[in-house]
Amino acid sequence: MSDYVINLDEALFAPTLPDSNLADLVNLVLSKWPDGVTCATQESDGCILFWSAPITEVELARKTASIEAGLMSVIGIGAQEDSHYYEINQQAYVANDWQHAVVTEKQFIA
């Protein structure tokens, strides 16, 4: 039996997909934009978070939050509506613009 070590003091960084932006990944993981969601962002571990907070608030948080702590510590769990991962062979990936991208429903539809 193998041992698993989980270090909660360090951020997990998923590999980057150099040819895919966050809007691309959102379109791959969703078939329909979720009700009540204003926008989506991505965390360093590859988790795509869907928010009900005002877009301007999420954009500001994206600029001010630390990469390690993520947006949850700034926006709060109450504004998170859903989450998904884009995976290839059970490995999560981040988009090439994950550190600053905020995807809206308009971008998803386009």
Q: Among residues 8, 18, 28, which one has the least CA distance to residue 94?
A: 18
Angstrom distance (rounded) from CA 40 to CA 52 = 9
Give the 3-state secondary structure of residue 83: strand
Task: Tell me which residues of the chain have a pLDDT lower than 70.
Answer: 1-2, 4-10
Residue 103 confidence (pLDDT): 98
Angstrom distance (rounded) from CA 95 to CA 18 = 7
Token code pair at residue 65: 């939050």
Domain boundaries in the chain?
A: 16-109
Residue 2 confidence (pLDDT): 67
